Structure 1
Amino acid sequence: MAPALRRRQLIQPQDGVARVARLGPPLTLAILAGPILAGLAGTLLPAFGYLPALGGARLTTDAFAALFAAPGITRSATLSLSTGLVSAGLSLLIVMVFVAGWAGTRSFARVQAMISPLLSVPHAAAAFGFAFLIAPSGLLARLISPGLTGWTRPPDLLVLNDPAGLALIAGLVVKEVPFLLLVTLAALPQVRLRETRALSAALGYGRIAGFLYLAWPAIYRQIRLAVFAVIAFAASVVDVAIILGPGTPATLAVRLVGWMNDADLSMRFVAAAGALLQLAVVLAALLIWIVIEIAFARLREVLAARGTRLRHDAGLRHAALGLMTLSGGIVLAGLVALGLWSVAGLWPFPQPLPSTFMLKPWMEALPRVAGPLATTLAAAALSTLIAILLTLLCLMREGDTGRSGGRKALAFIYLPLIVPQVAFLFGLQFLFLSVGFVASFSALVLAHLIFVLPYVFLSLSDPWRAFDRRYEAVAAGLGKRRLRTLLAIRLPMLARPILTAAAVGFAVSVGQYLPTLLIGAGRLPTITTEAVALASGGARRTIGIYAFLQMLLPAIGFAIAICVPALLFRHRRAMQS
């Protein structure tokens, strides 16, 4: 029976499922790399003056001359560079020290349980919540006034939109910490943590020192691309920078969006040149980070050679625990502030809570919300469904060939996350305009799919590869065809991770701002674009409604991912974990 089973397994990759699975990798590569490369080309040519549709018929450097003559452009580029490096560095430092000091403890499990759900909160919603907390008339000032401050009216303090970008950096840190923690947790099983801790403790090393010397190098190799993605995102983010960042001058990415939407069409050339400058800023940030990596590795080697043991690291460990808890608490408190403002009636400063609560703001906003909400749901559902199908095809193809192609393709998976959105979306918009494809729903879904697909693949790949294929071998030995085995065994057993990956993709799509703004050309508004458009106004109740909805949609997606498997497998104890 064993030889027959082996022959059947060798024959199976040639069936219809395998033939369909062959389409997965090339389609995925085309979706990830094709629009990015085409968009970069579409940005490069206008940057050098060639865009016949706008009268640019020859190559020039006039756009770069106009770009560098723009007031404050050096400050904008420097601000983007520092924001990316500082926010990513602080986020990684907090996660690294926290994991080093607390991994495997009850406190670690509690913080993980609190932080993990925050990954579903879109960046714009978290930024609005943070703004509602720290503003001079925000929730924090209300809670401590007038008792601790003596304030009876909002103080004249530049807390939000400060010139140094401190509020922007803080907002990015509290949102990126959950992401880096989760990717670190995924890499943690690669090291034998218990044995490593026992060995370092036996040699007299503190928890943090032992972890950094023995375990961290292997973990960091696994999460390095994710760190690069965080740096690229923070250095080129638009929606969070509009909400929290400085305005005179704004970060480079925000100024590029303004030029792209300028009534003067000649500013499109300057925006394209600025997009290349943004790409250069991100590349510079990554190069500086690589230098920091080398310096940190050498410092670790020097400290290890000197026998620095950091036995008394309790203060550092508790500081990391406090910062990790604070970052999660800030996001949660911000979401509470959004909810309060969405139903607040009269709320004079410094009252900690509204005098009255009312649903009138919701009733007035619902007719305006219906259209953007429908677009948000449709684009998110369709892009997520396509991403799930392509990911499954790629993973099935990887299993058929017996190669680690999926792991080698991680560079392509991270490509949309590392290349700044503004660097290729401008060019992609130009190309779509030239063929009449812009402002169509299909174009919007494609734009979202570029960013949804990487997160879905990264969420689902590890559970798929960890599946015990002996179940399939038993089914093959019983004469079941591969399609039947896939539908009846593997997919049901992986229902929980598949639905979780779908929830992640849905949340990513809901939070997309710049792709929706540019590819939708303002004619396909979503909850996110409408919320950010309100950022410059003072209508906190309306902002609270849109931002609360933006947070609520991904939460519903994750609730479905949790409840559906629990309902399906309620009579199967082994499938409930």
Structure 2
Amino acid sequence: MWLRLAPAVTLALLIGPIVVGLAWTLLPAFGHLPAIGVQGPSLQPWRALLATPGLAASLQVTVTAGLGATILSLGLASAFCALASGSTLYRRAARFLGPLLSTPHSAIALGFAFLIAPSGWLVRLVSPELTGWSRPPAGLVTVGDRFGLSLMGGLLLKEVPYLVLMVIGASNQVPVRQALTVSRALGQRGPAAWLKVVLPQIYPQIRLPLYAVLAFSLSVVDIAIILGPGQPPPVAVLATRWFSDPDLALYPVAAAAAVLQLAIVGAAILCWHLAERPAGRLGRLWIERGSRGALSASLVRVAGAGALAVGALGLAAILLMAVWSISVAWRYPDALPGAFALTTWRAQAGAVAPLLANTVLVGAASTLLALALTLGCLENEGRVGRRGSAVALWLVYLPLLVPQIAFLFGVQVALVRLSLDGTLAAVVWSHLVFVLPYVFLSLADPYRALDPRYAATAAALGADPGRVFVTIKLPMLVRPVLISAAVGFAVSVGQYLATLFPGSGRIATLTTDAVTLSSGADRRITGVYAVLQAALPLIVYGAALALPAALHRNRAGLRP
């Protein structure tokens, strides 16, 4: 009975909050929120939104940074895979990308802000010898620029590694070696051959992850607060400010801004989808011309080098925040601190301990619930002999495609009416909405790839389905189960809005306080929070790799 209900319960937990949240966001957006004495329908919130000074600039930076980061991420990830395909680096890329993928967005954004700031590490490396700057240049704006370039750069640090992993996973499902062999026989070699014969085959498989990247880039809040312009900010940050304002009269305007953000993301995904067909035609013409691709190969090499640079900057951002957290004094233009000590860690221990406990508790609870639901759905698939449809896959991706700001405020309104806002259970439920898709997508392929003959053999020996699941399937799948749990925990640690709204400011985590501290606190204190944000997922990820090796040390066939 439980297994039969698992798919329905899972979809209800994913879709329910989005439907309820959108409803309670749409109603205030059109002037109906009786709780604050506003009766609708009315277009007054939209008139107030459109009259907001700087709204056009907010829209411009939202679209420019979001679309630019997505296009560049796809180009850099494809170029890297085209260059590295078949190499040892390509086969081990997932292992190298682990630290970047598991580190929360805000932690990398904090480190990246120090890297590129006018008083940042990149400037310090060449100052004053090459620049002549004995003090930080006052007129140089590299963080929070009005064009959103720093925001775009911060997005690339997370999205390029993610898309590289998606491309590698999709490449494993197509005959890459045979396709490249045929391509070489026709005179096509190098990275251009990969772009011509492999990328068109794997693009349909990475389409949904790419849409998720596009939606995230257009609507991200925590990275935009840290790296984006402050006046005017991107639309999602503008809506978040109004939602957090003590003046309740701003709620309908904030809801209108959230609906506008939803419309931006929906229009962007639709335009991207419509552009795929003409882009495919252009690609087909390029392939049919049969050129050897000398120019394209040079461009791919440049882009591949850019992808490696993005990875190096991401790792440097993480390491620099660790250095800041143990520095005693780091004055400009010194490239390294003058002394190191754990003074800041000791001073912040009392403030950090409850945040650390909340982060671990919420992450563990949401991840365990997501694992239970995912295993139930996948086991039910195996027993009924029917895989989920394409519609089900879209529904799993839905929380990643709908902007968080568009429905989390509505979820908070519903929680207030149920007297559940500000509770730990509400925050865990909110995190589960975003953890569950990643856990399911991480575990689905390994689970479905398990040879069914093992279960059939155990059943022939008299084992019932429950015993087969516990004693045969789970031990064989312990590594992918633990890896998917690590992915889910990392997703939970990085949640900002999903903690801020359902928690009503009463449930604080490392991420919520780190984003707050980014606006001007001591970099050493910010470094402590950023390091803890990065360390928690890395510890869980390391345990997920080490534990199966220890459990299977005497079972060579189960060792990865």
TM score, norm. by length of structure 1: 0.95
Q: Distance in 2 between matches of 1:480 and 1:223?
A: 39
More deviation, 107-116/249-258: 107-116
Residues 1:234 and 1:313: Cα distance change in structure 2 (over 3 Å): closer
Of 491-500 and 535-544, deviating more is 535-544
Q: 1:73 aligns with which of 38, 46, 55?
A: 55
1:323 and 2:306 are equivalent in the alignment: yes
Question: Residue in 2 aligned with 1:294?
Answer: 277
User: Which residue number in structure 2 is paired with residue 543 of structure 1?
Assistant: 526
Tell me which amino acid in the other structure corresponds to 1:84.
Answer: G
Q: What is residue 47 of structure 1 aligned with on the other side?
A: 29
* Deviations, residues 211-239 of structure 1 (Å, cap 9, x unaligned): 23322122010010100000000100000
Aligned with 2:172: secondary structure?
helix
Of 363, 367, 372, the match for 1:380: 363
TM-superposition CA deviations, 1:460-516 (whole Å, max 9, x none): 000000001111111111111111111111001100000000000000000000111
Deviation of residue 407 (structure 1)? Answer: 5.1
Q: What is residue 133 of structure 1 aligned with on the other side?
A: 115
Contact 1:206 1:312 in 2 (8 A): no
Partner deviation per Cα, 1:542-565 (whole Å, 9 max, x = no partner): 100001100000001101101111
Moved more, 97-106 or 265-274: 97-106
User: How far apart are 1:336 and its partner, in Å?
Assistant: 1.0
Query: How far does residue 143 in structure 1 lie from its aligned partner after superposition?
Result: 1.5
Equivalent residue number for residue 3 of structure 2:
21
- Distance in 2 (alpha carbons) for counterparts of 1:473 and 1:98: 42
**Alignment correspondent of 1:275:** 258
1:215 equivalent in structure 2: 198
2:471 pairs with 488, 500, 505, which one?
A: 488
Question: What is the 5 A alignment of 1:444-483?
Answer: 444-483=427-466
CA distance in 2, matches of 1:462, 1:487: 19
Change (3 A) 1:490 1:192: same
Indicate conservation of the 8 Å contact 1:48/1:273, yes or no. Answer: yes
Paired residue type of 1:81: V
1:405 is paired with a residue whose SS is coil
Does the CA contact (< 8 Å) of 1:50 and 1:57 recur in 2?
yes
Distance 1:312 1:78 in 2: 33
Q: Does 1:362 align with 2:345?
A: yes
Report if the CA contact (8 A) 2:326-2:341 is conserved: yes
Distance 2:404 2:7 in 1: 23
Give the letter aligned to residue 35 of structure 2: A
Residue identity opposite 1:426 in structure 2: F
> Which residue in 1 is equivalent to 2:542?
559
Deviates more, 1:444-453 or 1:356-365: 356-365
**Any stretches of 5+ residues in structure 1 without a counterpart?**
1-18
Q: Which residue of 1 aligns with 2:334?
A: 351
Residue of 104, 128, 131 corresponding to 2:86: 104
Aligned partner of 1:512 in structure 2 is 495
Q: Is contact 1:85-1:289 (8 Å) kept?
A: no
Match of 1:148 in 2: 130
- 8 Å CA contact 1:88–1:234 kept in 2: the answer is yes
Partner of 2:163: 180
- Equivalents in 2 of 1:59, 1:70: separation in Å? 21
Helix, strand or coil: the match of 1:345?
A: strand
Shift of 1:37: 0.4
Whether the 8 Å CA contact 1:87–1:169 is kept in 2: the answer is yes
Paired AA for residue 399 in structure 2: P
**CA deviation map 1:516-536 (0-9, x unaligned):** 111111100000000000111
Per-residue deviation, 1:316: 3.0
**412, 430, 454: which one aligns with 2:395:** 412
Q: Distance in 1 between matches of 2:455 and 2:269?
A: 43
Of residues 481-490 and 409-418 in structure 1, the stretch that sits farther from structure 2 once superposed is 481-490
Q: Alpha-carbon deviation of 1:315? A: 2.7
Secondary structure at 1:353 match in 2:
coil
Letter in structure 2 aligned against 1:103: S
Q: 2:507 aligns with which of 524, 528, 533?
A: 524
Flag the 1:313–1:270 CA change in 2: closer, same or farther, 3 A: closer
Name 2:40's counterpart in structure 1. 58
Aligned-partner residue type, residue 50 of structure 2 = F
Aligned twin of 1:264: 247
Partner SS state of residue 409, structure 1:
helix
User: Is the Cα contact below 8 Å between 1:116 and 1:182 reproduced in 2?
Assistant: no
- Give the corresponding residue for 1:13: none
Deviates most, 214-223 or 374-383:
214-223
Match in the other structure for 2:423: 440
Deviates more, 1:235-244 or 1:430-439: 430-439
Select the residue among 57, 67, 76 that pairs with 1:94.
76
1:311 deviates by 4.7
